[in-house]
Structure 1
């Protein structure tokens, strides 16, 4: 006896994946160039077919239900199989389509953005979406195709690789140091003012580089944005702790007590089902090569050039 699942439409599954990736019916309708009601109707038809709700509507967008997560994973398996078949029958690996790379604001803005132009030039049919997030991005839930982080993410079905490291240190403007003096030893820092993160808004401990270098700093200016911290320190607000790649912006910040430094790892993560796709593999390999090429700069052993 036939059941609803026997009439499953692959086109509805493809639509569902787009809804998941856009995190909204409106976004999916815009991408598919169809009406909002058409997407809602087909999503409801798929929910009837699988026998339960697939998404929940929240202020932050659509969230997957347990049934939705299972359906998404099976739909991705089918999608990956179709993509693999397309590659097999064409006898070539075409780097085309969209890859969403998620990471922190600082490394996205100060390091990756301008360098990804080279990748776009190399693959004209590749659309790169660079997403910044102050928290862990769950590639297993298709919030991104790739996640560049300062720690190894936890989760099942993740392909995570340690691809590099970078140094962190203290910096201040010339004006601040002329006004407050140049610290010559760690004990002198008790007399200085600092720029840092708003403690209760920090969602990733890996960005707490100031507290790692200076116990109980006196905070004069705080922000949940590393970029805002940089510009405030450049204007003389206080001493700031920054990753080495921040020096590429050349804001006139001067290293302070260079013997006080920290180090962070750089991890690249992808879902195991997506890691082999030509477009994902191309972006992953490019970023790995980029970090390897800039190893000495990221560790503070070579100057940055623009």
Structure 2
């Protein structure tokens, strides 16, 4: 096959393998079988007369030639994305699917409450809300939008800091009845805490209890913020949580400690190709509006 006969399907296979570094994951994303993916990669290398991948036990990595090809294929992919978007925007209504990736707490305990409001504003828009404890790679098209507690790395991305969110110590009346309620930051050393499992923390930003106490007694640890909240609401101990997560959660009482101030940044990002599209702009603007009006939970930049 001559290089002039290269088709987009073969290049799309190359792009997915380059993004995932794994034949199996690429096959799953493209809904093809493993053998088809492998065969097309081999055919592509014959056509280009170059080795574009290094096969390793842990996956596939690009060679120097493969990285050069990736630059061109990514530009082609961006053009295809923009073509699809332009064909889909022949209606005045904002529609289509947007995949928003973020952390479990803000997804389940905050954003999900406002889905009816988003649907009322944009009935033809479908939001896919994905929770992940990891960095989501927008360059690999793992999501359209990433809402994160840190400034994400990457290229060709529109990144915006939405503001800061506040965190406070919470406990239950059951816990206060037998352990008392701390009146100052220094009294926290006498209390028991519910927090994350230290060696399973994937994002340094959620080690927020370290801002308050490096040495503490813990009675329960979990990788899930929701599990921490439930345990604390039943009296397992004190817990440090974002304010946005507790407003509609029963059983937790905020402890007002004037000498305690803990905040984290909130960032929203989208690939440069998708940021101007009506569907992504609609979701981005909606989230920005939620943050700006919730002045009790967020400090807007």
Name the TM-score class by shorter chain: 0.7 to 0.9
| Deviation readout 1:38-74 (Å, 9 max, x if unpaired) | 4443344334444334586877xx6653566655553
**Distance change (3 Å), C-alpha of 1:19 and 1:124:** farther
Q: Does 1:182 align with 2:181?
A: yes
Structure 1 equivalent of residue 278 of structure 2: 278
Q: Does 1:239 align with 2:238?
A: yes
Structure 2 equivalent of residue 65 of structure 1: 62
- Contact 1:25-1:36 at 8 Å conserved across structures: yes
Task: Output the CA distance in 2 between the equivalents of 1:87 and 1:203.
Answer: 34
Task: Output the CA distance in 1 between the equivalents of 2:121 and 2:47.
Answer: 42
| Deviation readout 1:7-27 (Å, 9 max, x if unpaired) | 210122345556677886666
- Contact 1:170-1:261 at 8 Å conserved across structures: no
- Contact 2:105-2:225 at 8 Å conserved across structures: yes
| Deviation readout 1:104-129 (Å, 9 max, x if unpaired) | 11111111223234435555554433
| Deviation readout 1:261-296 (Å, 9 max, x if unpaired) | 3112211112223322333333222222222232x1
Superposition deviation, residue 251 in structure 1: 2.5
Task: Output the CA distance in 2 between the equivalents of 1:243 and 1:161.
Answer: 20
**Distance change (3 Å), C-alpha of 1:236 and 1:217:** same
Structure 1 equivalent of residue 115 of structure 2: 116
Mean Cα deviation higher: 40-49 or 233-242: 40-49
Q: Which runs of 5+ in 1 are unaligned?
A: 301-306
- Contact 1:77-1:273 at 8 Å conserved across structures: no
Q: TM-score, normalised by structure 1?
A: 0.80
Superposition deviation, residue 91 in structure 1: 7.2
Superposition deviation, residue 77 in structure 1: 2.2
Task: After TM superposition, list the pairs within 5 Å mapping 1:1-306 onto structure 2.
Answer: 4-17=2-15, 35-50=33-48, 51-54=50-53, 65=62, 71-85=69-83, 92=90, 95-120=94-119, 122-123=121-122, 126-259=125-258, 260-294=260-294, 296-299=295-298
- Contact 2:81-2:273 at 8 Å conserved across structures: no
What is the alpha-carbon root mean square deviation over aligned residues? 3.3
Task: Output the CA distance in 1 between the equivalents of 2:292 and 2:46.
Answer: 49
Task: Output the CA distance in 1 between the equivalents of 2:238 and 2:87.
Answer: 59
**Residue-pair matches, total:** 295
Task: Output the CA distance in 1 between the equivalents of 2:66 and 2:123.
Answer: 34
SS of 1:269's equivalent in the other structure is strand
**Distance change (3 Å), C-alpha of 1:68 and 1:237:** farther
Task: Output the CA distance in 1 between the equivalents of 2:194 and 2:296.
Answer: 24
Structure 2 equivalent of residue 303 of structure 1: none
Task: Output the CA distance in 1 between the equivalents of 2:68 and 2:290.
Answer: 35
Superposition deviation, residue 87 in structure 1: 5.4
Task: Output the CA distance in 1 between the equivalents of 2:67 and 2:118.
Answer: 32
- Contact 2:98-2:127 at 8 Å conserved across structures: yes
Q: Which runs of 5+ in 2 are unaligned?
A: none
- Contact 2:200-2:223 at 8 Å conserved across structures: yes
SS of 1:200's equivalent in the other structure is helix
